[in-house]
Amino acid sequence: MQILTVSDFEKVAVRYSTLFYSRSLKDGPKSIAYWISVFFFVLTILFMFYSLVELALGRDANTGLALIAVLFEFVGLAVWIAFYEPAYRYDKLKRSGLNISDVLCKKQDREIIKGIWLKKNLSVPPDKYFDLAKNFYEA
């Protein structure tokens, strides 16, 4: 059995937090779903900007442009959530060293994946995780 120091535990805790709770997209895969979402978000910004320009020029407020902008934002979010988020999660898990099928990468399976990751990265049995965290917290 490997001895786990406070420094080792902190490193594991940081990796765990980065893997399961970080939302940085700088290292995510730039798939077609990513670029389609970005395209719709850019269209949203353009239509909002054009709507504000029309208002600044003294013309009547054009709610049609604002509604189109909202529609583009909803489409962008739908593509992002339905297609990019699962691909991003799978890519992140794959780079962490877990060889998990993409079927298991759904949001509802996150607790199973966390258990597999902890079992791989900690040298204690699963029923001792709480005691381990408590001991390091007290130290």
Q: How many domains does the chain have?
A: 1
Within a domain: 19: yes
Within a domain: 1: no
Task: Give the pLDDT of residue 79.
Answer: 94
Structural domain including 71 reads 6-138
Chain position carrying tokens 């529609």: 71
Within a domain: 82: yes
Walk along the chain (139 residues) and give the pLDDT tens digit of each residue: 466 677 777 787 788 777 777 766 677 788 899 999 999 999 999 999 988 888 888 887 778 888 999 999 999 999 998 888 888 888 888 888 877 776 666 767 777 887 788 788 777 776 766 676 676 666 5
Q: What single string gives the DSSP state of each residue in 115-132?
A: HHHHHHH-SS-GGGHHHH
Distance CA 109, CA 106 (A): 5
Within a domain: 97: yes
| Joined tokens for residue 62 | 């054009």
Within a domain: 132: yes
Within a domain: 89: yes
Residue in 99, 135, 122, 88 with CA at minimum distance from that of residue 16: 122
